[in-house]
Amino acid sequence: MKSHFDGVDPILCPRDPKTGEPLPPRSQPGYYPGFSTLSQGAFWDTATRAVVDKRVKHPPEPKFFAAEAWTFWTTVFAHLIPQTDRIPERQIPIVATLDHRLANDQTAGYRYETMPPDRVVYEIGIEAIDREAQHRYRGKFLVLPYLEQDLVLKAIHDGKPEAAQEIWKHMSVHRFWQMIMGDAIDAYYAHPWAWDEIGFGGPAYPRAYTRLERGEPEPWEVEEQRYVWLAPANSASAEVDSSPSHHAESGQHSLPVRSSKGARR
Amino acid sequence: MKKPLLGEFETPSSNKYRVGPLQSIHMPMRRFREYEDVDYVIVGVGSAGGVLLQRLARAGFNVVGLEAGPFWDTEHDWVSDEAGSHELYWTEPRVTGGTDPLALGANNCGKGVGGGSVHWAAFTPRLHPSDFEIYTRDSVGADWPITYDEIRPYYEQLELEMPVSGPAYYPWGHPHGYAYGPHPMGGVGNALIKGCSALNIPVSIGGPVAILSGSHGDRPHCIYRGFCIQGCKVGAKASTLVTHVPDAIRTGAEIRDRSMVSRIELGKDGRVTGVHYFDNEGHSHFQRAKAVIVSGYAIETPRLLLNSACPGHEKGLGNSSGTIGRYLMAQAGNVVLGRFEQPVRMYKAPPAHALTEEFYETNPKNDFARGFAIQTVGPLPVAFGKQVLAAKKAWGWGLRREMMDYNHWAAFGLLGEILPWKDNAVTLSEDKDCFGLPIAHVTFNLHENDKKLIKAAREKTEEVMQAAGATEVVQEARYAHLVGACRMGSDPRTSVVDKFGRSHDIPNLFVCDGSLFPTQGSANPGLTIQALAARTADYLVSQGERIFTSNERDMTTTPIRRELAPPETWGKGVPRLK
Amino acid sequence: MANELSLTPPVLDMKMVANYVREGRFQRSLALLTAATSVISGLEVAYEHYRGSYSRRVMYTPVILSGLLAIAGVAAFFSRRAARTVLRLVSVVTLIDALAGFYFHVRGIHRKPGGWRLPMTNMIMGPPIFAPLLFGTSAYLGLIASYLQREESSGMPSTSGRDIWFARLLPPSAGRELLSAEQDMREGRFQRQVAIVTGISALLSGFEAYYSHYKNNFRYAMQWSPVVIAPVLAGVAFSSIKSRRLATTALPAVSAIAGADAAIGFYYHVRGVLRRPGGRKRLLYNVMYGPPIFAPLLFGAAGMLGVLASLLRRRRV
């Protein structure tokens, strides 16, 4: 049993809702077993194939972050988009992509006036998170147990950090969260392994899609095969807000969080 | 099939400059010298700039387009990939703020030849006749200096030049039909049809969208791959890069790409003499011109005019009214997400393929003026991830789990009219860009009418999503498009340019792009921008040399010059209701 | 004549019809049938080409020609002269247009991204490759009709309407052969020819059914039926060239099955259209992009040709 977990702590792994037992990491989580966008590379144009190949085979080398910052953000991103349901060799690099972006000073093309420049955000963000960790659990973020780390980040997610107010005065909590989550999503869901996980068809030029309606899969796509799983017991990130939005004043502000545990059937 | 016949696809290695798999641009193009006094310099070769360049070149003018971004070779430069398409967007530094700050960049700003038309979703509804006189009708916003009837021939013309696919009968505004047939539906379109049908709301199926439903000369028709806003490698989606630029180059226009215009030079006689620009290596140049047209869109246009302040024009070039940068508008673009039990796979088919404008006009029953449209949206994984982040506050395991359901979600976008307000503005920031030029600071605040309208629009869109059978409905607040900020008008005290886009203050300086709009309706602005460009071009052609020599202002409207259309426009499509 | 038939008992009807066909005396009926099929395929091509936005002017030709062919068919019903001149001419032109259409469709697929290297995708999403040839079916019927005798004719051969001028252009032996073939057609002796056309038509429409149902992921088992029946019909039709027995036994049987399948298919396609989002409220759009309602009838046309072949006589040796 132990060997299935391949060095990953079972307590960090998603659980089977019936037995409560941790599920061993997979090479491909998600409901589309055997689906591989990369296997379709021959049907893509050269330029796209080159970009995607590079993403998979040659993630960028560290350039911007110093070693400690690299470790710090690696740990944070392991909470923002946890990957313990993936075997280690199929985990998707997030910090490398972010590092590349910051090294080249690539931005979204704008900066909120309530935010410092992106590079500064990732500098002072470390301190803000560490101070929150100190304040809540009397330890630096990196040394805290997983759940406490999760809760530190959740405080920021909820828009309610208690420490480091002088940092937050110059950096909107909400925008900060948007940026680090945005970077996590930018890296993770741009990766073909993530496409396989969610059943996205991937690049489609010159080959088109032919079955446009009723969610019908292409001949090379696979039908969905759902399984039920729960987030690990010691995580605080499983809940999402599913409340119908017309009760909300604005989709951009924090709301009371309603629990919705586990995957729907 | 493991591979295509004859093995994996390779990009053909040829010296041709390709825009799409079949179409190519004949290079080398004509080159002008900097000391040559060219007739027109156009700053920005985007939606408007591309049309202007083509029209003026075809009419025989010497014309140079200066474009800050690259001249795309689509087969080599564009990819079928979300993250890999970053280059298409304007990502130079800007600051955004106000109570409801706008997201810029990929959301609404293009860079490179074709500009925003390279990454628009290509919905191309017309404005309604009412849009041109909302102040008269509803006492809000402003009236346009032109009427619907003045722009109508240009709508009809540009709908042929792109061309626009859509239903044979489009019931809203001034009813009309389209020369190209409607598109097949994807999952999102079907959801919109289902929802609207259940609620007895009329819906326009398969358009109007500037994506080919049938081939068009060397442009193949749509292959329904869903990467519209990543740049259409197929060439099926209209961008001026594929519709107008090839003809412009053929008829002797020059496009100087990677050329960032920094300042417009004003001569002693109060007329502009040319533009300063930086080339790709950062060297400064000056291009002489008899007249200058600024087509940099709603942020860069005011920024350039403000940055061109000089003695006599301290507040910005041609800014005696003080309205340059003011009355910036975006449309409410809330995305409503609905989860369905059956898979949808919304990444297939263009994001833009069905809409309803049933709630477009002012309704006395509402507590707000003006209205909104509901349209299909088809976010790809990265975009959808961010919507789930915003709409469901999802992160960590919650996000992973929601995203595994990607194929079960459909997305509608509402498009709500936000009125022009003076405090929504582009100003200069203290920060500088890599050329040392002050960057734009964008301020955006929602006002009472806007908020009420958005609330109603959101609720209606959610109702439609539920009627379509969604079991869970959530939404994200966001904004789409950018217009205004150099608005046209008859009164020089309250507007920047006249109804042909000519500066009230400087007779040989023109603005022609989305920043002209006094108000915006709930229609996507792309078609109107191009129609205005063709109209301005007709005016310039009819004025001839007088633009270059005279300070007289002739305000007569001239009949449309259909002969200036790219020749491949003709001989295609079906007879239509105009 | 129709009135005369309807007064007699059904069994006798069949026999009489069979006799007329046997002797090649069904010009008026076939001309009318030509007109009817031409209207249907005209409608089909009209909206199919609307899907392609009539992006080339040549796409209007089949629509116009099917209108002309329908008119010519009706004219031929009333006038023997029209049957032998106008109907023949329009039929030939339409057949040429069908061939040209086939060329344009092949080229259209070639010009799609990936071209013929993605045959399945581009046949599904590009112009339907065999549709122009199937469109030629009604023109073929018209052409045959132009050579037949009228129902009321006494069976005495006449020279009017024969392509003597054309035969003179050919080498003498080929000219003689042409005239003799024409004479045989007049007498209903062209079973083999129709059998061949039946076989080809079955194959083509079977293939069309295959890839369009493939596009639909064969969601219903019934979608396999034309794909299975078509090759059987083609096999029987081609075997009928050799075997007169098959031509009179298996061929009509399988053709009848194909016809029945086409009727069922028509029903399902109509139902499919109505079940689309918006259903009746978006009828025109749903006809355009729903299952092609007339396509099963084209498959049925192959069956009809098979029945026709089975009733005809073979050429004199």
Q: pLDDT tens for residues B540-555?
A: 999 999 999 999 999 9
pLDDT band at B365 (very low <50, low <70, confident <90, very high): very high
- Provide the shortest C-alpha distance from residue B465 to chain C (in Å): 14
Q: Please, what's the largest Cα pairwise distance for chain C?
A: 63
Helix (H, G, I), strand (E, B), or coil: what is residue B354? Answer: strand
CB contact under 8 A, B234 and A198: no
Token couple for B125: 């509804």
For CA atoms B21, B23, B26, B31, the dihedral sign is: negative
- Number of B/C CB contacts below 8 angstroms equals 94
Which of C109, C111, C112, C125 has the highest number of chain A CBs within 10 A, making it the mutation to test binding with A? C125
Provide the angle, in degrees to the nearest 10, between the axes of the packed helices C131-147 and C191-215. 160
Instruction: Encode pLDDT of B162-184 as tens digits.
Output: 999 999 999 999 999 999 999 99
Distance CA A83, CA B392 (A): 20
Above 80 in pLDDT, residue C104?
A: yes
Helix (H) or strand (E) holding C10: helix C10-22
Where exactly are the structural domains of chain A?
2-247
Point out the residue among A208, A216, A217 whose CB comes nearest to the CB of C121. A208
- What pLDDT score was predicted for residue A256? 36
Chain C residues within an 8 Å CB radius of B196? 278
Least confident of A28-32, B30-34, C146-150: C146-150
pLDDT in tens, B316-351: 999 999 999 999 999 999 999 999 999 999 999 999
pLDDT, tens digit (0-9, with 9 covering 90-100), for C286-317: 998 999 988 898 899 999 999 988 888 888 76
Task: Check: CB of residue C83 under 8 Å from CB of residue C27.
Answer: yes
Contacts of C117 in chain B (CB under 8 A): 4-6, 9
Q: What is d(CA B262, CA C106) in angstroms, rounded to the nearest whole number?
A: 52
Tokens of residue B62, six digits: 């010497």
C34 Cβ neighbours under 8 A, 6+ residues apart: C69, C70, C72, C73, C76, C87, C91, C138, C141, C142, C145
In eight-state DSSP terms, residue B233 is T
- The answer to whether C245 contacts chain B (CB < 8 Å) is no
Residue of A nearest to B441 (CA): A113
- Among B5, B73, B80, which would you mutate to test the A interface (most chain A Cβ atoms within 10 Å of its Cβ)? B80
What is the reported pTM?
0.93
Q: Does A211 touch chain C (CB under 8 A)?
A: yes
Residues B236, B230: Cα–Cα separation, whole Å: 13
The model's confidence at residue C5, banded by pLDDT at 50, 70 and 90, is very low
Q: How far apart are the C-alpha atoms of B173 and A12, rounded to whole Å? A: 57
A110 to chain B nearest CA, in Å? 4
Rounded to whole angstroms, how far apart are CA atoms B284 and C47?
57
Q: Which residue of B has its CA nearest to A215?
A: B344
Question: Could you tell me if C76 and C27 are in contact, meaning their C-beta atoms sit under 8 angstroms apart?
Answer: yes
- The answer to whether the Cβ–Cβ distance between C113 and A211 falls below 8 Å is no
On chain A, the residues whose CB falls within 8 A of the CB of B395 are 80, 153, 157, 181, 237
To the nearest whole angstrom, how far is the Cα of C113 from the nearest Cα of chain B? 7
Identify any residues that bridge with B226 across adjacent strands, giving them in sequence order.
Answer: none
Name which of A22-36, B106-120, B539-553, C160-174 the model is least confident about: C160-174
pLDDT at A251: 35
pLDDT for C155 equals 56
- Hey, are the CB atoms on C279 and B182 less than 8 Å from each other? no
pLDDT level of residue B13 (50, 70, 90 thresholds): low
pLDDT band at C159 (very low <50, low <70, confident <90, very high): low
Contact residues, chain A, for C218 at CB < 8 Å = none
Pick C278's closest partner by Cβ from B5, B197, B571. B197
Q: Do the bridges between strand B254-256 and strand B24-25 make them parallel or antiparallel, or are there none, so unpaired? A: unpaired
Q: Is the pLDDT of residue C3 over 70?
A: no
C125 neighbourhood in chain B, CB within 8 Å? 223-224
Q: How far is A82 from chain B (nearest CA, A)?
A: 6
Query: What is the pLDDT, as a whole number, of residue A244?
Result: 60
Per CB-CB distance under 8 Å, the chain A contacts of C118 are 43, 206-208
Cα(B161)–Cα(B170) distance, integer angstroms = 19
Fold type of domain B29-569: FAD/NAD(P)-binding domain (3.50.50)
Q: Answer yes or no: is pLDDT of B28 > 60.
A: yes
Predicted local confidence at residue A75, as pLDDT: 97
Residue A63 in contact with partner chain C when CB distance is under 8 A: no
Residue B38 has a CB neighbour count (10 Å cut-off) of 19
Between chains, do B215 and C111 touch, taking CB under 8 Å as contact? yes
Which site among C53, C117, C275 would you substitute to test the B interface, given the most B Cβ atoms closer than 10 Å to its Cβ?
C53
Is B223 touching C (CB cutoff 8 A)? yes
Structure tokens belonging to residue B330: 């975006």
Confidence label for C10 from pLDDT (cuts 50, 70 and 90): low
Name the residue among C52, C56, C118 with its Cβ closest to that of B4: C118
Nearest Cα residue in chain C from B166 = C53
**CA of B214 vs chain C CAs: smallest distance (Å):** 4
For residue A250, with 0-12 CB atoms within 10 Å meaning exposed, 13-18 middle and 19 or more buried, which class applies? middle
Contacts of C279 in chain B (CB under 8 A): 197
Option in C118, C217, C219 nearest A207 (CB)? C118
The closest alpha carbon to B391, from A237, A259, A254, A264, belongs to A254
At residue A139, the pLDDT reads 94
List of chain A residues whose C-beta atoms are within 8 Å of the C-beta of residue C120: 219
CB distance A71 to A145 below 8 Å: no
Whether residue A206 and residue C113 make contact (CB cut-off 8 A), yes or no, is: yes
Quick check: A245 and B463 in contact, CB under 8 A? no
ipTM of the complex: 0.94
Task: Show which subunits contact A, needing at least 3 CB pairs below 8 angstroms.
Answer: B, C
Tell me the nearest-neighbour CA distance from B403 into chain A, angstroms: 6
The Cα B401–Cα A262 span in angstroms is 8
Tens digit of pLDDT at every position of chain A (265 positions): 445 677 778 888 999 989 989 999 999 999 999 999 999 999 999 999 999 999 999 999 999 999 999 999 999 999 999 999 999 999 999 999 999 999 999 999 999 999 999 999 999 999 999 999 999 999 999 999 999 999 999 999 999 999 999 999 999 999 999 999 999 999 999 999 999 999 999 999 898 899 999 999 999 999 999 999 999 988 999 888 876 654 333 333 333 333 343 333 3
Interchain CB distance below 8 Å, A208 and C215? no
B75 to chain A, any CB pair closer than 8 A? The answer is yes
Q: How far is B431 from chain A (nearest CA, A)?
A: 11
Pick from A43, A206, A210: CB nearest C215: A210
Pairing outcome for strands B329-332 and B438-443: unpaired
Domain limits, chain B: 29-569
Tokens encoding A135: 């304040």
* Residue range B468-475: mean pLDDT, rounded: 96
In this structure, are residues A96 and A70 in contact, taking their beta carbons and an 8 Å threshold?
no
The token pair that represents B27 in the structure block? 């290079």
Helices then strands, counting H and E runs in chain C, come out as: 16, 0
Q: What is the DSSP string of B420-440?
A: --TTSEEEEEEEE-TTSPEEE
Return the residue matching tokens 């549709």.
C131
Q: pLDDT at position B202, please? A: 96
d(CA B425, CA B437): 18
pLDDT tens sequence across C194-233: 899 999 999 999 999 999 999 888 889 999 999 999 999 9
